[in-house]
Amino acid sequence: MNGEKGPLDRATAAEYASWFKALADATRIQIVSLLARQGRPMTVGEIVEEVEVGQSTVSAHLKVLAEVGFVLAEPRGTANLYRINATCVSCFPTAADVVMGRPAPAAPTRPEES
């Protein structure tokens, strides 16, 4: 059943579920919050200093966040700088609204990495 009173279509529901799943961890919430508040690309080392978990743990969390588009990696020499993907993050409250039955302003899209 589709329409205003029916459930979301499966593709949209799956996309939103991946976003919620990516944020279902306190450390990932900290990383997204840190990158959004810093407003600049950060190295893994800088992120590790702020969230106080090991480098391998931060790297694993960044991978999950990058897979759903919350963060983008910018290659710099032999390392990556990570930054918040403002487009994806600005869509997230909309995703929550849609799940709760409020109208969607636009269909969700996965931003491309540059």
Domains of the chain: 10-99 (1.10.10.10)
pTM of the model: 0.75
Residues sharing a CB contact under 8 Å with residue 83, sequence separation 6 or more, in sequence order: 35, 40, 41, 42, 71, 72, 74
pLDDT of residue 8: 79
**End-to-end CA, the chain:** 38
Share of the chain above pLDDT 70, in %: 79
Model pLDDT for residues 50-95, shown as the tens digit of each residue: 998 999 999 999 999 999 989 999 999 988 999 999 887 667 667 6
Residue 34 CA from chain centroid, whole number: 12
